[in-house]
Structure 1
Amino acid sequence: MKKILCDIAIEAGKIALEGYNGNFNTFYKGEVDPVTEYDKKVQEYIVKRLRTEFDNINIFAEEDDLQEDTDKMTAFIDPIDGTVNYAHRLPMFCSSIGIYNGKESIAGVVYIPVLDELFFAERGKGAFLNDKKIEVSNQENLKRSVFATGFPYDKHISKRNNIDNFSRMLKKIQGIRRMGAAAIDMCYVACGRLDGFWELKLKPWDYAAAAIIAKEAGAVVDSFNSREWDLFDDSIILGGEKTVKNMKEVLLYD
C-alpha cells in the first residue's frame, strides 16, 4: 500500500509541476473557484493508476463530479489542493489521496512537489514525512501557538465565512498562517510546524488523506459541534488534545 500510494502521489506531482513550470489554461467552476487543465490531468492519472492497482476501488474526487459509492473501499482524491496558489504560481499546493473502507481510514498520502515533501500514514503504523516519523506539537499555551485556517469561496456573500472566528482567534494566539491548501495545513500540524488548524465548508477530498496523517501523528481531529467528527463533516478542528479543547472555547460554529 505505502509504495503504491507514494509512487502515485510523486508521479502526480511531476505532472502538476509540468504545468506549474510551463503554461496552462485556467477555468472557473463559479465566480471565484478556479480549476486548471492540470487539475484534470493529475486527477485522470491518479484515477487510472488506482483502478489499475486496486480491484473494485471506488473514487470520490473533486473534479468532474466523480463521486462514487463510499460504503466500500474508496479513494478520496484532491488532485491539486491549493488550485488558487497553483494558478498564481505560488508553491503551496499538493496532491492528496486518502483510502477508506467505509468510514474506517486505511492510508493517506500528501505530496508537495515544489518542496519535495511526502507525507504518508497507514492506520496503526504512525505518520511520516519523507520516511521520518512525525508527531504533533506539545505546545498547549495559546499565546505561544501558531495556527492555520482558510476561508470559503463564498466568503463575500455568506455569513458563515470564518472571518469572525479569524478575528476572535487572532487576539488569543501568537499568529495565524494562511497556506491556501487545507491538506498542507493539516500535515504541518501533524509534523509540529503548526500547533493547530480549523476551517469551515470543506469537502471530504480536502482532508481525507491529511486527517489520517494527523491522527497517526497524535493529533485530535474534531468538529465544531458536539458529535464525533467524520469525513463528511464540513468543518474541522485539529491539534493536540489540549489545543483542540482551547480552540473550541474560542471558535463559533455559526
Structure 2
Amino acid sequence: MSSGTFISFEGIDGAGKSTHIARVADLFRQAGRAVVLTREPGGTPLSEKLRELVLHEAMDPLTEALLMFAARREHLVQVIEPALARGDVVLCDRFTDATFAYQGGGRGFDWQVLAQLERMVQQRPVDDATTAQAGHTPEASHTPHARHAREGEYPYLWQPDLTVWFDLDPLIAAERLASARVPDKFESQPAEFFAAVRAGYAKRQAEMPGRFARIDAAQSMEAVGADVSRIVNDWLQRSAA
C-alpha cells in the first residue's frame, strides 16, 4: 500500500498555481521529503504529445475527453503510482477535476460519461479493492489516495489526498494573461466558457468536499501564499493524527 502524499492544484490559467506549487515543493523538501513535480495533461513523453494535440487541435468533444483520460492513464501508471509507492510527495498541476471543469463545465460534455471514464482509468489495485470489500472505508482506514465512487461501483479510485483550488473570476484571469503568451485553444475561449469552467470546479468540490480546499486567488500573491501554506500544514497535521 502506498505511503506517499498526492496533492493537486486546480484553477483556470491566470490563477497563479505555478508559483505556489513551487513553494509547496520547497516546504516538503525542507522537511526531507522527495518531491515529484508534474502536470496534466502531460507528465510522460506520450502524455506530453497528447497534451499538444488537446491544447492546439480542433476535435470532437468526446475525442478531447478520451485523450485527456488516455494521457492520465499513462501518467498514473508511469509517474504517479510509482512515486506514491516510494513514499514521495506528488504535486500535480491539475488532475481529473480539471477534466470535469473544462470538458464537463466549459464544453458541457456529459458529466456521467466523464465519471465512467474516471472509474475506468483511476481504479485502485486489486488489493485495495479487496480491503474495501471487507468493509473498510477510506476514511476509517486512513488509506491515502483512495476515495469512494458510487455505492456498489469501483470502491477505490486514485484521487489526490488534497486538492487546492485557486478560484478566480475569469475576467481577472483574462487581465492577468492579456500579454503573457500566445494563448492555446482553451485560453482563447470567451469569458462565458471560463464562467462555466468555474461552475464545474464548484460542482466537483460539492461532490468531493473532503479533499477540496478553495482559495480566493484574487488576493495578493502574499495572501494567497499564506493561505496555501496554512491549508497544506493543516492537512499534514490532520493526516498525521
Give yes or no for TM over 0.5: no
- Give TM-score, length-normalised by structure 1: 0.28
Higher helix share: 2
- Give TM-score, length-normalised by structure 2: 0.29
Higher strand share: 1
